[in-house]
């Protein structure tokens, strides 16, 4: 049973560039949430995708966008990268959207983004 898989695991970009991170949810899950985790901090909610639509969004600028595909996989795109975007980007899958109640998140190993 495949868990949540993310790619790439590590990447280095320069300021102003764009990046795309990918996530395949755990088998049987239909919802994908993206989190940003800075060093020494807790995961910060970016947004959630359910039924191929963005359902909820945290306090992140429009430079952060995403997509969910019919097979439930998802992408996170970040444009015009800033130094402060350096972080571990975690994808978490679950069954049902956040609004459906007490669903539990299964996290992937993350994509470590360094912006120089």
Partner 1 sequence: GQQVMQIPQYQHVQEGEDFTTYCNSSTTLSNIQWYKQRPGGHPVFLIQLVKSGEVKKQKRLTFQFGEAKKNSSLHITATQTTDVGTYFCAGRGGNKLVFGAGTILRVKS
**Cβ distance to partner 1 smaller for residue 11 or 98:** 98
* Interface residues toward partner 1, by CB under 8 A: 35, 40-45, 56, 59, 90, 92, 98-99, 101-102, 104-110
98: alpha, beta or left? (left if phi > 0; alpha if psi -120 to 50):
alpha
> Alpha carbon 106 to chain centroid distance?
12
Smallest separation, CB 67 to partner 1 (Å): 21
**Cβ distance to partner 1 smaller for residue 44 or 79:** 44
Smallest separation, CB 43 to partner 1 (Å): 5
**Cβ distance to partner 1 smaller for residue 73 or 107:** 107
Is residue 29 within 8 A of residue 93, CB to CB? The reply is: yes
**Cβ distance to partner 1 smaller for residue 30 or 79:** 30
Smallest separation, CB 100 to partner 1 (Å): 9
Smallest separation, CB 80 to partner 1 (Å): 25
Query: What does the DSSP assignment read for 51-104?
Result: TTEEEEE-S--TTEEEEE-TTS-EEEEE-S--GGG-EEEEEEEESS-GGGSS--
- To which residue do tokens 């969910």 refer? 68
């Amino acid at each position: 049973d495949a868990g949540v898989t993310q790619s790439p695991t590590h990447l280095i970009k320069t300021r102003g560039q764009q990046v795309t991170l990918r996530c395949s949810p755990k088998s049987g899950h239909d919802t994908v949430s993206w989190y940003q985790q800075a060093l020494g901090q807790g995961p910060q909610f970016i947004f959630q995708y359910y039924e191929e639509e963005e359902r909820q969004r945290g306090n992140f600028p429009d430079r952060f966008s995403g997509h969910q595909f019919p097979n439930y996989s998802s992408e996170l795109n970040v444009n015009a990268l800033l130094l402060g975007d350096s972080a571990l980007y975690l994808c978490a899958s679950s069954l049902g959207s956040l609004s459906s109640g007490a669903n539990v998140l299964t996290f992937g190993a993350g994509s470590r983004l360094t912006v120089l």
